[in-house]
Amino acid sequence: MSKKVAVVTGANKGIGLAIVKGLCKAGFKGDILLTARNEKLGQEAIAGLQAEGCKNVIFHQLDICNQGSSLKLKKFLEEKYGGLDVLVNNAGMAFKNSATEPFGEQAEVTMRTNFWGTLWVCHALLPILRPNARVVNVSSFVSKKSIDQCNPELQAKFRNKDLSEEELCLLMGEFVHAAQTGDHTAQGWPNTAYGTTKIGVTVLSKIQARVLSETRPGDGILLNACCPGWVRTDMAGQNASKSPEEGAETPVYLAMLPEGAKEPHGQLVWDKTVQEW
């Protein structure tokens, strides 16, 4: 049998780095690919983990906004491992509250990374998932807050159990367009670029889980969205309540759900607990 392999995106620092460490400490039996868009930062992170005793960590470059980069990773995984066992889509970004870029630009840039980048990685890597694979999309509790701020019509669209990936993509595009024309609040969108991208990640996870259940029944694959909590990283700042290691607990729990587990699947999970959506 081929060696098992896990991939964590955006893992040179913050929660992603803590997830790689958490997988290693939880005894993941296989290689853990710490991916980062910047090779030097990724290699430095690997050196730090190896010094802490994590020997099964390997670097691979991945810029989630570059489709070619995802396809190179796919080829590497196919050739070296013959598939993929764990995928943690952690990479993400947020503008600071003090950012001066116009809201429409913030919406486009944030959407490109958090939603489209995550989607492109999934398009490349979900087809090579092995039976019993685990996929964790790092979303946020802000996605729940933000869907509740949408008008009733948008809420109904996002909560429609038959929503397709294509329809979700169109909705994300509509938000960016409305943000650029300054009409987003008038059209019923919440006044948050980050929050709307994370609605996209949570709803995408529900759609992907449904499609996996339909197309690969019996393969035991579990896919969920999660919130790490409010975590002290470059993104959230040092006043946040959790350490990166604490923030990694729920993603690692979902990535390590034992073989044979039937749930959670297609859920938004935080503090290891399924949340109402």
Closest CB to ligand NDP among residues 22, 228: 228
Contact between 77 and 7 under an 8 Å Cβ cutoff? The reply is yes
Closest CB to ligand NDP among residues 107, 130: 107
CA distance 268 to 226: 5
Q: Figure out which of the listed residues 8, 147, 227, 252 binds ligand NDP, where binding follows CB under 6 A.
A: 227
Q: Is 195 in the site for ligand NDP (CB under 6 A)?
A: no
For residue 26, the 8-state DSSP code is: T
Closest CA to 71 of 151, 140, 127: 127
- How many Cβ atoms from other residues are within 10 Å of residue 128's Cβ? 16
- What is the rounded (10 degree) CA torsion for 96, 43, 16, 76? 120
Closest CB to ligand NDP among residues 117, 130: 117
Q: Is 95 in the site for ligand NDP (CB under 6 A)?
A: no
Closest CB to ligand NDP among residues 56, 143: 143
In whole angstroms, the minimum distance from the beta carbon of 119 to ligand NDP comes to 12
In whole angstroms, the minimum distance from the beta carbon of 243 to ligand NDP comes to 11
Q: Is 15 in the site for ligand NDP (CB under 6 A)?
A: yes
Closest CA to 115 of 174, 71, 32: 174
194 is catalytic: yes
Q: Figure out which of the listed residues 4, 12, 200, 269 binds ligand NDP, where binding follows CB under 6 A.
A: 12
Q: Figure out which of the listed residues 71, 169, 235, 274 binds ligand NDP, where binding follows CB under 6 A.
A: 235
Closest CB to ligand NDP among residues 40, 262: 40
Q: What angle do CA 145, 148, 153 make, to 5 degrees?
A: 150
- Given 3-state DSSP classes, what are the helix, strand and coil percentages for the chain, each rounded to the nearest 5? 50, 15, 35
In whole angstroms, the minimum distance from the beta carbon of 244 to ligand NDP comes to 7
Bridge partners of 123?
Answer: none
Q: Is 252 in the site for ligand NDP (CB under 6 A)?
A: no
**Stretch near ligand NDP under the rule CB under 6 A, chosen from 61-69, 144-152, 167-175, 205-213:** 61-69
In whole angstroms, the minimum distance from the beta carbon of 131 to ligand NDP comes to 27
CA distance 69 to 106: 23
Q: What angle do CA 164, 167, 171 make, to 5 degrees?
A: 140
Q: Is 37 in the site for ligand NDP (CB under 6 A)?
A: yes
Q: What are phi and psi of 157, to 5 degrees?
A: -65, -45
Closest CB to ligand NDP among residues 19, 129: 19
Q: Is 264 in the site for ligand NDP (CB under 6 A)?
A: no
Q: Is 93 in the site for ligand NDP (CB under 6 A)?
A: yes
Residue 16 vs residues 21, 63, 127, 171: alpha-carbon distances, Å: 9, 14, 23, 28
Residue 61 vs residues 37, 55, 107, 143, 241: alpha-carbon distances, Å: 6, 18, 26, 28, 31
**Interacting residue ranges for ligand NDP, rule: CB under 6 A:** 9-10, 12-16, 36-38, 41, 62-65, 90-93, 113, 117, 138, 140, 227-228, 230-231, 233-236, 240
What residues act catalytically?
A: 194
